[in-house]
């Protein structure tokens, strides 16, 4: 059974253009420079999973015509990856009021549940705000271990994002790593042999970025991982699509919203 992956957003925390219609160095006439916040859809014949629900989540679901959702995998708790979570309420009510499973790191759910308690534990008016989301927190032993959600197999792995721990996901021959500053040996071993690697490169050419990997780090990591195709995501307004396409070495490509992989 195959899986279909759709990049619903490949932008950084600001998106491109950012508020105020700011494009930075990105050419506004290049459609692939128009970027929503980072988000990936994973689909089997029976199941649809979304990785992260950022501020653009409603637009992404509508723009790509996703009318059903079975679960959410979270990378971490930063606002550009979770602050569209309230839009899951609409999915809950249309799904016969069945709670939506949400997977993630204990550190992330400590923050997410604190900010959006009503979604997990219900609000004052239980008719309109019953518990809607089911937090499924990874145990320490889950990282690097093959797991299943319905008919989708995956392996979660921990990454360092500078200010917090984030979770990457491997689905057979495709791996998705956002947001990420560095990978330890356990993560590298889990990623080794993946064929397609979608990875945070928002650090671009910066050596002093504390929370995102730069391109040099990705090149070095992939010498060990050995991915045939690497798609750089979390792109900022400093990363023009055409410019980035021309400077990346063979086997490396800029991601763009709407990019689809069938594995």
Poorest-confidence range of 154-158, 188-192, 207-211? Answer: 207-211
The arithmetic mean of pLDDT across residues 42-51, rounded, is 97
Q: Residue 1 — pLDDT band, cuts 50, 70, 90? A: low
The arithmetic mean of pLDDT across residues 43-68, rounded, is 96
Percent of the chain exceeding pLDDT 70 equals: 100
- Give the C-alpha separation, 259 to 256, whole Å: 6
- Give the C-alpha separation, 94 to 122, whole Å: 17
pLDDT digits (tens, 9 = 90+) for 75-108: 999 999 999 999 999 999 988 899 999 999 999 9
pTM: 0.96
User: Which residue from 234, 252, 76 is spatially nearest to 169, judged by alpha carbons?
Assistant: 76
- Give the C-alpha separation, 42 to 227, whole Å: 19
Q: Are 120 and 135 in contact (CB under 8 A)?
A: yes
Would you identify the CATH topology of the domain 4-262? Metallo-beta-lactamase; Chain A (3.60.15)
Instruction: Please state whether the peptide bond connecting residue 179 to the residue before it is cis, i.e. omega within 30 degrees of 0.
Output: yes
**Domain coordinates in residue numbering, the chain:** 4-262
């Amino acid at each position: 059974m195959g899986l279909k992956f759709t990049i619903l957003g490949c932008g950084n925390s600001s998106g491109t253009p950012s508020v105020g219609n700011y494009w930075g160095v990105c050419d506004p006439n290049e459609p692939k420079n128009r970027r929503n916040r980072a988000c990936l859809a994973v689909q089997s014949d029976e199941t649809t999973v979304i990785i992260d629900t950022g501020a653009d989540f409603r637009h992404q679901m509508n723009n790509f015509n996703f009318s059903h959702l079975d679960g959410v995998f979270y990378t971490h708790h930063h606002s550009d990856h979770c602050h569209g979570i309230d839009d899951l309420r609409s999915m809950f009510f249309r799904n016969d009021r069945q709670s939506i499973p949400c997977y993630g790191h204990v550190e992330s759910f400590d923050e997410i549940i604190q900010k959006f308690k009503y979604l997990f534990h219900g609000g004052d008016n239980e008719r309109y705000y019953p518990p809607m989301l089911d937090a499924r927190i990874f145990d320490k032993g889950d990282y690097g271990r093959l797991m299943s959600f319905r008919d989708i197999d995956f392996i979660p792995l921990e990454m360092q994002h500078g200010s917090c721990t984030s979770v990457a996901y491997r689905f057979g021959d495709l791996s998705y790593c956002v947001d990420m500053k560095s990978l330890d040996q356990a993560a590298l071993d889990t990623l080794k042999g993946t064929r397609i690697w979608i990875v945070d490169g928002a650090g671009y050419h910066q050596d002093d970025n504390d929370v995102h990997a730069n391109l040099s780090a990705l090149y070095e990591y992939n010498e060990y991982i050995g991915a045939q195709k690497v798609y750089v995501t979390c792109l900022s307004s400093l990363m023009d699509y055409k410019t980035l396409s021309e400077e990346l070495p063979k086997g490396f490509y800029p991601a763009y919203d709407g990019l689809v992989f069938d594995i």
